[in-house]
Structure 1
Amino acid sequence: MIRFFGPFIAPLVGAGFLLALLWGFITTPREAEAPTAAHEYHKGEKEISFSFDGPLGRYDRQQLQRGFQVYKEVCSACHSMKMVAFRDLEGIGFSGPEVKAIANQWAVEVPSINPDTGEAATRKALPSDYFPSPYANETAARAANNNALPPDLSLIAKAREGGSHYLYSLLTGYEEQPAELVRKFPDAKTPAGLYYNPHFANLNIAMPPPLVAEGQVTYSDGTKATVPQMADDVSAFLMWAAEPKLENRHRAGVAALIYLLIATAFTYGAYRNIWRDKKH
């Protein structure tokens, strides 16, 4: 009898052990997670559409130039874009001379070396230079921002879930902290030096509202510079900075799809031609 059932004992014991583990996992009581302020009051992205959304989306060069102006006049005071060169701006419609003038007139000069003395120096930026950081180093950046380090914006639109939609929501999402939130979660009161923004992960962000009033910048194309418009434009510009080849990728995708459709049609035609005289 043992010899007959012997080969089945080990598998049965193993199956029983696994079933016991599974049953224990299912029946073990779990404590419900305590609600948090971030869980209850965090908001997702606002409803907004960009010209580059979707598989056929394209950048609006005029909007990108306005977004660059917002970055230059507002954001660049705190945030670097160390992976974007001035000459890259030709990709959003600026001419060579315009790029040269933008680089030459940039508020922060580029670190350099004095050829006569070999000592550290600065010089006017060239089109081949990358956007210089507004701070000499990380220590200086933290000292100027209540120990918070302003992130580099070169890839921020790809580094945050939601991309440009998240950036727009964040820039336009500052508001007073609800009194109800403080009553329900006293420990979640926004600390001094931080700002309440329900679109930020933990609701409190170190960055002060960067876009605060209509007309904060003056657009050269006459567009009315409302806070939502400026946020829309700079979010689009940051998306371009993170993915300047997006339009090429879209075109390649469409071309590949058309090729596959044609190849499928030819393949099906060949199949029908080969098998049309064959009887099943």
Structure 2
Amino acid sequence: MVRPIGALVGLGFVFVLLFSLITGAVNFIKEPPAPTVEHEFHLHPKKLDLASNGPLGKFDRQQLQRGFQVYKEVCAACHSLHYVSFRDLQAIGFSEAEVKAIAKQWAIEVPSVNPDTGEAATRKAEAADKFPLPYANDVAARAANNNAIPPDLSLMAKARHDGAAYVYSLLTGYQDQPAELLKHFPDAKTGAGLHYNPYFANLNLAMPAPLVADGQVTYADGTTASVDQMAKDVSAFLVWTAEPKLENRHATGVAVVIFLLIATTLAFLAYRNIWAGTKH
């Protein structure tokens, strides 16, 4: 008696499930969801070719140094890089002396303690220090940025889908709102203090375009600092801050693949040798 009842209950669940599925599909066809402004006008990141792309990718250290210069002269005023130390810059080609000079010349001093009085103080940054925060706290950050807190950029290239391409697209994607958008979604007009960018999730963000003109920075290696070039360079730099061991990971992956190929070949040859005299 228990089994037939259990079977009936199971069939009832299946029937309800199928009924809900069919009803939902019919309603979706008859009354599809209304399009949203984000769905209609949000763009996927542009394609970005960097030397670090792909399983065999390696960093272009000249580009990373240019990207650091863009971060230092443009982005550091608002965005932190708090998971990176000054001495880490040696990995992208700066000498120890250059790193010490960069830390000492940094515009923001780091918190410290007066050794004589024990009171809070500040001092010049040192190579062992992490990059200082641009604001004393979140309240100060909001007050200076239209009530928005600029995110830390240390892991941005991993925190966003297509991280480097996303950063590049965002930096080069500022534009006026399309007339078609305002025609179909008049309530979606960009508000005061916001800036339209189709590569941002909700199309409007508090950050104004940071890269506004060619030649905004002067590259030490003589590369022409167009807006497009600066955006590519700082995107490449943020790939490095997010994955400083990327080259080691790629090299390890190649070594493992080669080892597995050799091991598989040896195992197959051993199999053929051991079973060579056996008839099937």
Q: TM-score, normalised by structure 2?
A: 0.96
Give yes or no for contact 2:86–2:131 (8 Å, CA) kept in 1.
yes
Which residue matches 1:24?
Answer: 19
User: Which residue type is aligned with residue 155 of structure 1?
Assistant: L
User: Which residue type is aligned with residue 223 of structure 2?
Assistant: T
Q: Distance in 1 between matches of 2:71 and 2:147?
A: 22
Pairing of 1:1-280 with structure 2 (within 5 A): 6=1, 8-28=3-23, 29-30=27-28, 31-280=31-280
User: Which residue type is aligned with residue 273 of structure 1?
Assistant: N
SS at match of 2:49: coil
User: Which residue type is aligned with residue 140 of structure 2?
Assistant: A
Give the Å deviation of 1:117.
1.7
User: Which residue type is aligned with residue 26 of structure 1?
Assistant: L
Give the Å deviation of 1:209.
0.2
SS at match of 1:112: strand
- Counting aligned pairs with the same residue, the percent is 65
Provide closer, same or farther for how the CA distance between residues 276 and 149 of structure 1 changes in structure 2, counting only shifts above 3 A: same
Q: TM-score, normalised by structure 1?
A: 0.96
Regions of 4+ moved over 3 Å: none
User: Which residue type is aligned with residue 14 of structure 2?
Assistant: L
User: Which residue type is aligned with residue 115 of structure 1?
Assistant: P
Give yes or no for contact 2:113–2:119 (8 Å, CA) kept in 1.
yes
Q: Distance in 1 between matches of 2:52 and 2:148?
A: 32
User: Which residue type is aligned with residue 130 of structure 2?
Assistant: Y
Q: Distance in 2 between matches of 1:96 and 1:196?
A: 42
User: Which residue type is aligned with residue 204 of structure 1?
Assistant: N
Q: Distance in 1 between matches of 2:267 and 2:255?
A: 18
Give yes or no for contact 2:48–2:164 (8 Å, CA) kept in 1.
no
Give the Å deviation of 1:48.
1.9
SS at match of 2:76: helix
SS at match of 1:150: coil
Instruction: List alignment gaps of at least 5 residues for structure 1.
Output: 1-5
Q: Deviations over 1:15-63 (max 9, x none)?
A: 4213311221122134421101110011111122010000000000000
Q: Distance in 2 between matches of 1:272 and 1:199?
A: 57
Give yes or no for contact 2:64–2:234 (8 Å, CA) kept in 1.
yes
Instruction: List alignment gaps of at least 5 residues for structure 2.
Output: none
Q: How many residues align?
A: 275
Which residue matches 1:3?
Answer: none
